[in-house]
Structure 1
Amino acid sequence: MHVIEEMIVLTEKAEVEREEPILTDEFFKEMDKMVEENTMPMENALLLLKHMGYYKMLTELCCNGFCYSFLQKRVERMIDEEEKKKEEKNEQLLIDLCESYLLLFDIIISEKMIILCVPFLLKVVLKKEENEETQKEVEMALLALSNISKFNKMEKDLYLNEITEIIEYHQEHCHLTHLAYQSAWRFLVCRFLDEKGLEDLIVNELHFAGEAARELEEQAKIVDWKKKKMAKEEWFIFNGWIDSVSDYCFFQLEGKIDSAALVECLCRIHRLAQANYSEISIKCIRDFHSMLFKNVASVDELVKGGAIDAALEAAFQPTAGYYSMEMNIKFFRLFSSGPSTQPDGNEHWSTGEMKVNKRRLFEKLEEEGYEDFIVSCNYMLLQLNDSYGEYFSRNPSDYCVAC
Structure 2
Amino acid sequence: MSFSAVEVIAAKRDCRTLSRAQIDWVVDAYTRGEVADEQMAALAMAILLNGMEPGEIAHWTQAMIDSGEVLDFGDVGRPLVDKHSTGGVGDKITLPLAPLVAACGAAVPQLSGRGLGHTGGTLDKLEAVPGWRASLTTDEITAQLREVGAVVCATTPTLAPADKRLYALRDVTGTVESVPLIASSIMSKKLAEGTGGLVLDVKVGSGAFMKTLPRAGELADAMTAIGAAHGLPTTALLTDMSRPLGRCVGNALEVAESVEVLRGGGPADLVSLTVALATEMLALAGLPDADPAAVLASGAAYDVWERMIAAQGGDPSAPLPVAAHVETVVAERSGIFAGADALAVGTAAWKLGAGRARKEDPVQAGAGVRLLVDPGDEVRPGTPLAELHTDDDARLPTARRLLAGAALMITTDPPPERDLVLDVRRGS
More helix as a share of residues: 1
More strand as a share of residues: 2
Question: Which protein has the larger Cα radius of gyration, Structure 1 or Structure 2?
Answer: 1
TM-score (normalised: structure 1): 0.30
